[in-house]
Amino acid sequence: MNVIVLGGGVIGLTTAYYLSNKGFKVSIYDKSSILDSTSCRNAGYICPSMYVPLTLSLSMKNVFKWIFKRKYGVSLRPTLKNLRWLYKVYRYRDRVDFKTIDNFLHEVDYSLRDFSEIVKRLDDVEYRVEPAYEVYLVESDFREALEIYNSISYYKRNVSKADTGELDLTMLKPDVAGVIKHNKIHIVEPLKYIKSLSNALKSDG
């Protein structure tokens, strides 16, 4: 069976690689060079343990302020359809479906096992797994984050309250309200990963 993949970024190339290994004949189409995609310029972080409600990380007021201005990285046309979508996002901003989040995180964790196996088969890819830390300066924000993390089984295994002694917080003391440790943050160098994937797909035909 022949399959066409639209987009030669991380998602497109990884999908093509999966399909190619399953015996599909894959063709990739992108409007620009594969090595000139947005994926080559991102941070390369895969953070399944940091899937948190929008209100913990962004002010909804700022989101609405940024989204209609050209100078910011994200823009949205003020159409009726888009305004309805924004209203739904705003309306449900404080509703947290813990079961859905937990199921999603387990799916991501399962996918990352396959991802780590792919990386092992590729040449010249920088990939590592290490902890990351959330530092809170406001006590109420810290308590809210802990409450959410403690409500989800995935977080209970992969996230913990950290001792401030684990980090150099000299610049922030004595204003630190608390620190949360994420045990597994996956970090990959995007450009090298895409180059290696592209070369592997070309060699497979």
Q: For 152-183, how does the pLDDT look when each residue is reduced to its tens digit (9 = 90+)?
A: 887 778 888 887 666 776 666 677 888 888 88
Cα 180 to Cα 136: distance, rounded to the nearest angstrom: 8
pLDDT digit string (tens) for 112-139?
888 888 888 888 888 888 888 888 888 8
* Phi and psi angles of residue 63, each rounded to the nearest 5 degrees, phi first: -60, -50
| pTM, full prediction | 0.64
Tokens 């309306």 sit on residue: 91
Cα 187 to Cα 47: distance, rounded to the nearest angstrom: 9
Q: pLDDT band at 56, cuts 50/70/90?
A: very low
